[in-house]
Structures are given as structure tokens and as C-alpha cells.
Amino acid sequence: MKFLKNRTTVGILCIVLSLVVCFGITPLFNQSISQKTEIVRVAKEIKQGDEITKDMVQTVEVGSYNLPENIIKTKETVIGTFATADFAVGDYILNAKVSKTPAYENAYLYNLDGTKQAISLTLKTFAGGLSGKLQSGDIVSVIAPDFREQGLTVIPPELKYVEVISVTAPSGYDANTGEKTKSEDDRELPSTVTLLVTPEQGNILAELEAEGKSHLSLVFRGDNKQAQEFITIQEKVINKIHHPDLVENAVPQALEQSNENKNPDAGESKGE
């Protein structure tokens, strides 16, 4: 290593190294920085849960250096998706912040097929809506004070088990649905609750809304499969009250099917 002690040799090595950096590495680095690419940027404010439309976004050209790998680069990819976070004007959009399906509390609104409907009930008091603790997917009972002016506080049999779709704040945005999107100080208190109901349940809820008398009590919160067991029980009660003919016809049909399963030859003999 004696040659390193020679100042002339060291000086020459430094000069060579600086030339390599200036004319080799630096141009490559500058070239990578100067490369451009198109990305999607927010043109209008987007709130969590909103469906992203064409006028909400725009395509702009920016430097490609140090961009996130999952940034969205084409408008077609993002249009029609649903925001899973709030976006301000000028924000970039990442794949992780959009979804092809609406948020849970809005999913039913896109999948209603006519058998059930969504209806909102005003929460007259803070206590009447479980003190702001209700969440999407909860199973609740609707208590009716002085139901139909009979002087009795009852749970109508049609409203013993009802599923909560969403809880909404006065601003119109979802509140207290189990998603921690706001701090405790900024969180809005709920003013309405939206329920997934049959037409028969909807009629009774409309009566309670007009009378301004209702109170919600939490029955179940947890696994969706177990929650549906409550709804199945409720549907059987509604059919028994409002559609007894269907229940009566279902019994002999079930017995006939059971007999055929026990004696499959009977059906063939009957056909002959």
C-alpha cells in the first residue's frame, strides 16, 4: 500500500473517481429523476364511502422517481370504485385506499333485490340509540312506548330482531359504525339509524317514526352467521303473522317431500 502514500497517485485516483461520478453516475441519476409518468390525482374532494366518478379525478404527468409502487396510474382503474379513506384535492390515489365494493354499511343499498328494504328511524334522544354505541351489523329490538295508543310499552313481534345497516350523523355521514376514522373529540353523535327490513316491518317503523316514539335495545353483536339466525327467526314470525297461508302450505309440502324421500318408489308408482 506504499503507492497510497504518494500524494501524486492519490490525487490522480481522486480525479479519476470524480470524473466517473460526474460523467457516469450523475447522468444516470439525473436521467432516472427526470423520467415522467402519468398518475391519477384527485380533482374534487372525496369522502370515505363515496363512489369515485369521472369528474372527481384527473390524469397528470409527474416525475416517476420515488413514487409508491401501488399508486394508480389510469383513470379507468379508479372510476367506479369506492373510497375507503377521505381524499383532498391534489391527493394521489393508492390501490389500498379504494375498493371495488361499497363499504359494509352501504353494501345493502347496492344489493337490495325487492325482498327487503332500507328504512331510517330518527333517534329522538341520545339514550334511544344506545348512547351512540350502535354499529353496522348489530341486531336490535325496537321498543314502542304507548304502541298505537294502547297505553302499553311493547316490542312489536315483527320488530324483535332487526339488523342495523348504518348509523348516520346530522351531517349525513356515517357515525359510530365501528370504523375509527375520527378522534373521540371530533366524532359526531348519531341522529338516525338505518335498518334492513321486510315491507311489513317497514310499515310499523313508519308508524313509529310518525308518532316520534321508539327506543332501540341491542340484542346481538358478533359473528354474521349467528346474526342471521336471529333474522331467520324473525322472518318465520312475520310469515306466521302476515302470511299464514304460506306457512300452512309449507307444512304439507314438507311432509310430502319427507315421505317421498323415505319411499322413493311411491313417486314412481304415482306417476305410472
Q: Which pLDDT band, with edges at 50, 70 and 90, does 27 fall under?
A: low
Residue 178, pLDDT > 50, answer no
Does residue 235 lie within any of the structural domains?
yes
Question: Exposure string (b/e) for 60-78, b if CB count within 10 Å is 16 or more?
Answer: eeeebeeeeeebbeebeeb
pTM score of the predicted model: 0.58
Average pLDDT of the segment spanning 130-145: 92
Does residue 247 lie within any of the structural domains?
yes
Does residue 166 lie within any of the structural domains?
yes
* pLDDT tens per residue across span 50-105: 889 999 999 998 877 778 888 998 999 999 999 988 999 999 899 888 988 776 65
Q: Which pLDDT band, with edges at 50, 70 and 90, does 14 fall under?
A: confident
Cα(120)–Cα(70) distance, integer angstroms: 38
Q: How far is CA 133 from the centre of its chain?
A: 18
How many domains would you assign to the chain?
2
Cα(92)–Cα(77) distance, integer angstroms: 13
Instruction: Report pLDDT for 18.
Output: 72
User: Where residue 48 sits, what CATH number does that domain have?
Assistant: 3.90.1210.10
| Residues 81 and 216 placed together within one structural domain of the fold | no
Contact between residue 119 and residue 192 where contact means Cβ atoms under 8 Å apart:
no
Is the pLDDT higher at 34 or at 119? 119
| Residues 123 and 242 placed together within one structural domain of the fold | yes
Average pLDDT of the segment spanning 253-265: 53
Does residue 112 lie within any of the structural domains?
yes
Domain span at 225 = 105-253
Q: Which pLDDT band, with edges at 50, 70 and 90, does 272 fall under?
A: very low
Does residue 269 lie within any of the structural domains?
no
Average pLDDT of the segment spanning 1-25: 65
